[in-house]
Amino acid sequence: MSIWIAKLLGPIVTVLGVHLLVSPARLQQTAAKFLQDTPLIFISGVLAMLGGLAIINTHNIWSWDWRVIITVFGWALLISGAGRILAPQLTTEVGGSMMDRPNMTRAAGLVWATLGLYLSYKGYS
């Protein structure tokens, strides 16, 4: 199951990370529109919770190897999704403060791209 999930998450996380690295201004424009749309925040919360629960229910593995990345990713999705549903105003505040730091966007992109490439490597090698 770990390899299958890594094959799904790896390429998606890689592409998102690269997008954060090369197009931070475009991402900030998209995020600004997203943060003004409470129904979209709610729907994204439901989808994030759904993805997180799917990962946790099939892959709640707390081992000291690469598979823990998948588990942590699942829990992060679950928690962030619940936060979007229960406290959309907090999502707007946190997102707004992140948009004021464009260098954080690139740093996050580097982390995401690295994690995505690592998961892709584990899944496809």
At 36-55, the pLDDT tens digits run 999 999 999 999 999 999 99
Q: How far apart are CA 55 and CA 49, in angstroms?
A: 10
Mean pLDDT on 62-83: 96
Sign of CA dihedral 73, 13, 30, 40: negative
Other CB atoms within a 10 A radius of the CB of residue 119 amount to 26
| Per-residue pLDDT, 65 | 95
How does residue 74 score in pLDDT terms, banded at 50, 70 and 90? very high
Q: Smallest Cα–Cα separation from 79: which of 87, 116, 39, 38?
A: 87
| 18 vs 90: CA distance, rounded Å | 26
Question: Percent of the chain having pLDDT more than 70?
Answer: 100
pLDDT above 90 for 124? yes
Looking at residue 104, its pLDDT comes to 83
Cα gap 80→117, rounded to integer Å: 23
What is the rounded CA–CA span in Å between residue 22 and residue 108?
12
**Alpha carbon distance 77, 96 (integer Å):** 19
Evaluate whether 74 touches 60 at the Cβ level (below 8 Å): yes
